[in-house]
Structure 1
Amino acid sequence: MKAIMIDSYGDAGVLQLRTDMPRPQATPGHVLVRVASAGINFMDVHTRQGKYAKSVTYPVRLPCTLGMEGAGVVEEVGAGVTNFSPGDRVAWCIAWGAYAEYASIPAARLARIPDAIPYDVAAASIFQGSTAHYLVEDIARLGPGSTCLIHAASGSIGQILVQMAKRIGAEIFATSSTADKLAVARARGAHHAMEYDDGRFADRVRDATGGAGVDVVFDSVGKATLRDSFRACRTRGLVINYGNVSGSVTDLDPIELGEAGSLFLTRPRLADHMADGPTVQRRADAVFAAIQEGALTIDIEGRYELEQVQQVHNRIENRLQVGKSVLWIDRTL
């Protein structure tokens, strides 16, 4: 079968298109899936670069087949798997191997797809949608009247966060780097949109909230924004740092959280909020239901063949907006 492999970490040049790979086996507790579509994510780039080389949360090791998000149809089930059968339409994330024609996926990572959801939409939404779902529902616990600040609100997860927060009834402040991106955030439902402006977004949030600050900040930017996120948050508020695209904060003294208003700071990971099959299915159901209701829009930037993966990885590293791309593996499903 065809697959995209890496034997070493590095730039996009380490990607290998292999055409002679053996088809994986449905080992105990796993399900063999014929892949229809696979998402292309920053997490795939980070895997290739070696950022998870020593991770306990995401124990992917060399050599490996890339692709941590996909959708397809069940071909076989391994011993001990009782909740899936051949022919089931399924999607998954944070289980590697999707850049291939077939993938062996732990049954506990799989979710069924409603008939109304196409494979490409499922593959484009389950990772980012599940991420936004646990951040909004489990970590932030937003409700009607809550206030929140969402950084990078025009990005892939940012757009979903905005839409989920709007659906709940929260008041949404959004940041981005350009006027065009702010227009995207407004179109998705942000009530207030502003550029980062070297951290002065915090002053604007304070002004708009009568000096109080917001209940929750969703910060995926990291080093460039985190301390100003503290300033934008209310006393005893919550700052959720779920990404670090501008770099990691390596010099944070916990006393800063006290000085900023006895803040709570958390750095969660999706894997710890996808601990079992029922949780995976619950999050997927919520995402797919929102899509079917029209409350959640998932835009697919483009569709590519396996032979184009190296090109797309280069584009991602050049920071073009391809966070919601979908890689077509097989057009026949």
Structure 2
Amino acid sequence: MARTVIIEDFGGPENLKLVERDPGAPGAGEVRIRHEAIGLNFIDVYQRTGLYPLDLPHALGMEGAGVIEAVGEGVTHLKPGDRAAYACNPPGSYSEARVMPAFQVVPLPDSIGFETAAAMMLQGMTVEYLFHRTTPLKKGDTVLFHAAAGGVGLIACQWAKSEGIRLIGTAGTDAKCQLALDHGADHCINYNTEDFTARVRELTEGKGVDVVMDSVGKDTFEGSLDSLKPLGMMISFGNASGPVPPFNLGILGPKGSLKITRPSLFTHIADHDTCQEMAGHLFDKVASGEVRIEIGQRYALADIAQAHRDLEARKTTGSTIILP
């Protein structure tokens, strides 16, 4: 049996329920993994509230690291006893052990600990696709990155620094701005005390940035568009403040023939080889020391509701992990 967190109805953190489940044996193309550490991400909140609907009841959690206990027929890249990590569908990582599809589970190098892996897979592969698979970026380009002191943000600050990309971050407190600066951001704007759009224009001598990477959504969307240079790219990849409301696509023309995209990690990792390649790139960044994973909080599995409350209240910094 394995303790597992499920929801039976959409709603608040109080709807998270800890139950005992038999994970069962893996079928063809599946593995059973026993978790050593589990990741916490904003997508978990979206699924809990129903913004991203699930068939209920359903387990939650998109990310974890642990040891492979058993493999099903046809699985060749993993074997029992292997260290492994993942960030993928279907949800279910909030558990001591689970059976899941194997093709997006990746072998974990011995040089990377379970806690580090659980803290970085979803967020780190998100940064990988933002910087390498969404729009061309080169040394010397300037990026505006919202929520720069969060788990994705701190990885992005370091990733940008390692590739000679100028990163202007935003965060909600001076302390969080300093954290982003300490991790490689060139500048960080406290959006509670400054107009981030005006400050971006100052920092870029009125030109604007090449790319905006925005996981905040509703609250920052218009300001993000106004921070871009002509022909700039707006990457909207999250909804922490709520989904972006409908807008007139025609405004992109007079604002400078802007481009906009709404990508998802799960489209990128739907192909087995691409998933393994992205994870390998992330592992190389971490193993080289170019990217250090900042674990700001740890919670017990039984305290998952409090972890969700703190995440939604923006009380967390860096990555958060759950220990089964």
Query: Is the shorter-chain TM-score for this pair beyond 0.5, marking a shared fold?
Result: yes
CA–CA separation in structure 1 for the residues paired with 2:295 and 2:216: 23
Pairing partner for 2:159 from 164, 178, 181: 164
Q: How does 1:1-333 map to 2 (within 5 A)?
A: 1=1, 2-19=3-20, 21-53=21-53, 60-95=54-89, 96-196=91-191, 200-321=195-316, 324-329=319-324
CA contact (8 A) 1:12 1:310 kept: yes
CA contact (8 A) 1:39 1:69 kept: yes
Provide closer, same or farther for how the CA distance between residues 318 and 213 of structure 1 changes in structure 2, counting only shifts above 3 A: closer
SS in 2 for 1:104: strand
CA contact (8 A) 1:30 1:107 kept: yes
Post-superposition offset of 1:316: 2.2
SS in 2 for 1:325: strand
Deviations, residues 108-136 of structure 1 (Å, cap 9, x unaligned): 11111100111111011001000111011
TM-score between both structures, scaled by the size of structure 1: 0.92
SS in 2 for 1:129: helix
Q: Where in structure 1 do 4 or more consecutive aligned residues deviate above 4 Å?
A: none
Letter in 2 for 1:74: I
SS in 1 for 2:319: coil
Post-superposition offset of 1:302: 2.8
Post-superposition offset of 1:199: 7.5
CA–CA separation in structure 1 for the residues paired with 2:81 and 2:75: 14
Q: Unmatched 5+ residue regions in structure 2?
A: none
Letter in 2 for 1:15: L
Deviations, residues 42-84 of structure 1 (Å, cap 9, x unaligned): 222221111221xxxxxx4212222110011111111222221
CA–CA separation in structure 2 for the residues paired with 1:256 and 1:27: 51
Identity between Structure 1 and Structure 2 (%): 39
CA contact (8 A) 1:142 1:165 kept: no
Provide closer, same or farther for how the CA distance between residues 317 and 152 of structure 1 changes in structure 2, counting only shifts above 3 A: closer
Q: Unmatched 5+ residue regions in structure 1?
A: 54-59
Q: Which moved more, 1:208-217 or 1:130-139?
A: 208-217
SS in 2 for 1:284: helix
Post-superposition offset of 1:190: 1.3
Letter in 1 for 2:4: A
CA–CA separation in structure 1 for the residues paired with 2:270 and 2:176: 34
Q: Which moved more, 1:317-326 or 1:290-299?
A: 317-326
Post-superposition offset of 1:323: 5.8
Letter in 2 for 1:48: R
SS in 2 for 1:237: strand
Letter in 1 for 2:111: A
CA–CA separation in structure 1 for the residues paired with 2:8 and 2:317: 25
CA contact (8 A) 1:32 1:102 kept: yes
CA–CA separation in structure 1 for the residues paired with 2:302 and 2:244: 37
SS in 1 for 2:18: strand
SS in 1 for 2:140: coil
What RMSD over aligned residues (CA atoms) do the two structures have, in Å?
Answer: 1.7
Letter in 1 for 2:25: Q
CA contact (8 A) 2:31 2:102 kept: yes
Letter in 2 for 1:157: V
Post-superposition offset of 1:306: 1.9
Letter in 2 for 1:63: P
CA contact (8 A) 2:211 2:233 kept: yes
